[in-house]
Amino acid sequence: MKKKFDVLPEIAKLGHVALVSNDLEKSLWFFEEVVGLEKTTEVDGVHYLRAWGDFEHHTLSIKAGPEPSVDHIAWKAKRPEDVNNFAILLRDAGVDVTEVVAGTETGQGDAIRFQLPSGHHFEIYYQMEKPKVTDPKLKSVLKNQPYKAWRKGISPRRFDHVNIATNAQASDIVDFLAENLGFKIREYIKAPDDQVVAAWMSVTALVHDIAVMSNPVFDTSHELHHISYWSDNAQDILRAADILRENGVHFVGPGKHGISQAMYVYATDPGSGVRLELFSNSYLILDPDWEPVEWSLEEMEIGFTYWGEQAAAGEDANTTINAGSPIEQAIK
């Protein structure tokens, strides 16, 4: 990232993903009743959801549409001025930036939207409402927790990461994220021709706030591989498998990744077709001099699946949905 300001703009964390579902009723059943997300509100057909441990207005929004897609992936800036400063840096880098006025997305202040070289749509914001939960049926007795835990469904604690996919070169996305948005590579896969084919990157202490995967079998250069919600421990993931089974939702796992060292179960929203990873454990990166971990394709039997059902097995694990819907649609 080029130095243009006394303090470079920074991204603080992953904010939310906005989905379009061609069967809204099924998507809401899956995310609210089976997964157990809480609904903050519904405005003009957009349903805003968050986990019981999420503090902002929403970490997921869902609206109806003729084709399933991802409207945008949003990131929270570290400082209010960073939103405009990112706009300046991105425009200087030749990126088209669209300004989104406060209130266009319920609960959110001014923001910017733009495309990655792959066509994925990103949003950067700073201001976001933190609604107070007042209903005693929903409100936790803990002052540092908005909702009651374990009130319904799988009940993950918080939004964790996104994984985007492309049929183009992963390195184009990885370089853009590093040079323009300040993401750091934590682990990556290198092919025999020295091309980076996947990378796990973060701006926080997490192993990844975002992962990037390339494969020529993907339909476009701008796909969403999965979104992920985090639970406290491995037992929560086993409990999630029981709940998915009881509700007739097919899943892949449980298992443990070598890369990230996380426990997982993957399930697919029957409405939008988006894949959800239910995720736990993993490790934190607190060292400022962290050296990215390189993996080869030959090591992926352990890298993707340390043990358990193969993460790449089954139809669910090979499905992606379009993550390149037009920005103009997203801000109407």
- Spatial distance between the Cα atoms of 280 and 68, rounded to a whole number of angstroms: 27
Q: pLDDT, tens digit, for every residue of 91-145?
A: 999 999 999 999 999 999 999 999 999 999 999 999 999 988 999 999 999 999 9
pLDDT at 238: 97
Q: pLDDT, tens digit, for every residue of 291-309?
A: 999 999 999 989 999 999 8
pLDDT at 312: 62
* Domain topology for 158-322: 2,3-Dihydroxybiphenyl 1,2-Dioxygenase; domain 1 (3.10.180)
pLDDT at 318: 52
pLDDT at 330: 30
- pLDDT: which is higher, 315 or 211: 211
How many CB atoms lie under 10 A from the CB of residue 154?
Answer: 26
* Residue 269: partners with Cβ closer than 8 Å, 6 or more residues away: 21, 26, 27, 30, 31, 275, 276
Residue ranges of domains in the chain: 11-153+324-330, 158-322
Q: pLDDT, tens digit, for every residue of 76-88?
A: 999 999 999 999 9
Q: pLDDT, tens digit, for every residue of 45-59?
A: 999 999 999 999 999
pLDDT at 7 over 50: yes
Tell me what the mean pLDDT of segment 17-42 comes to.
Answer: 97
- Spatial distance between the Cα atoms of 122 and 180, rounded to a whole number of angstroms: 12
What DSSP letter does each residue of 172-233 carry, written as one string? HHHHHHHHHH--EEEEEEE-TTS-EEEEEEESSSBS-SEEEEE-TTSSSSSEEEEEEEE-SS
pLDDT at 331: 27
Tell me what the mean pLDDT of segment 166-173 comes to.
Answer: 93
pTM above 0.85, yes or no: yes
- Spatial distance between the Cα atoms of 326 and 119, rounded to a whole number of angstroms: 9
Domain 11-153+324-330: homologous superfamily in CATH: 2,3-Dihydroxybiphenyl 1,2-Dioxygenase, domain 1 (3.10.180.10)
- Spatial distance between the Cα atoms of 51 and 38, rounded to a whole number of angstroms: 6
pLDDT at 236 over 80: yes
Residue 332: pLDDT band (50, 70, 90) is very low
- Give me the residue label for tokens 């192993």: 207
What DSSP letter does each residue of 271-317 carry, written as one string? TT--EEEEEEE--B---TTPPPEEEEGGGHHHHT-SEES-TT-TTGG
What is the percentage of the chain residues whose pLDDT exceeds 70?
Answer: 94
Residues β-bridged to residue 268: 275
- Spatial distance between the Cα atoms of 197 and 326, rounded to a whole number of angstroms: 26
pLDDT at 316 over 60: no
- Give me the residue label for tokens 């959110």: 108
Same topology for domains 11-153+324-330 and 158-322, yes or no?
yes
Q: pLDDT, tens digit, for every residue of 178-189?
A: 999 999 999 999
Tokens of 136: 């005693």
Tell me what the mean pLDDT of segment 225-241 comes to.
Answer: 96
The tally of CA atoms less than 13 A away on the side-chain side of residue 21 is: 26
Q: Do residues 293 and 208 make contact, with C-beta atoms less than 8 angstroms apart?
A: no
